């Protein structure tokens, strides 16, 4: 149980770090390919109105090359050290 939670944390951190580095480096012409990707999710929020309670659901996932690279590096680091 502990190792699967740790794996999840390491992979999420790898995705976040990869996306951050892609965002920073993607501003330069030679590195802009790192920001190539797709957005997946609900562009318009889903609203559930229950008269006394209104719930709004929305989720967007931005998958880029840099976040995939970060995911792969995090998986290798996890496998090597844990």
Rounded Cα–Cα distance for residues 29 and 82 (Å): 37
- Total domains in the fold of the chain: 1
In terms of residue numbers, what domain contains 30? 2-81
Alpha-helical runs (H) found in 1-82: 2-25, 65-81
What pLDDT digit, counting tens, does each position of 33-79 carry?
998 999 999 888 889 999 999 999 999 998 999 999 999 999 999 99
* pLDDT for residue 20: 94
Rounded Cα–Cα distance for residues 61 and 46 (Å): 16
Residue 1 pLDDT > 90: no
């Amino acid at each position: 149980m502990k190792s699967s939670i740790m794996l999840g944390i390491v992979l999420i951190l790898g995705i976040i770090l990869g996306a951050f580095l892609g965002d920073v480096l993607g501003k330069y012409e030679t590195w802009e390919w790192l920001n190539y990707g797709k957005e997946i999710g609900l562009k318009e929020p889903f609203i559930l109105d229950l008269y006394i309670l209104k719930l709004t659901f929305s989720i967007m996932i931005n998958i880029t090359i840099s976040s995939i690279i970060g995911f792969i590096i995090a998986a290798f680091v996890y496998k090597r050290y844990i």
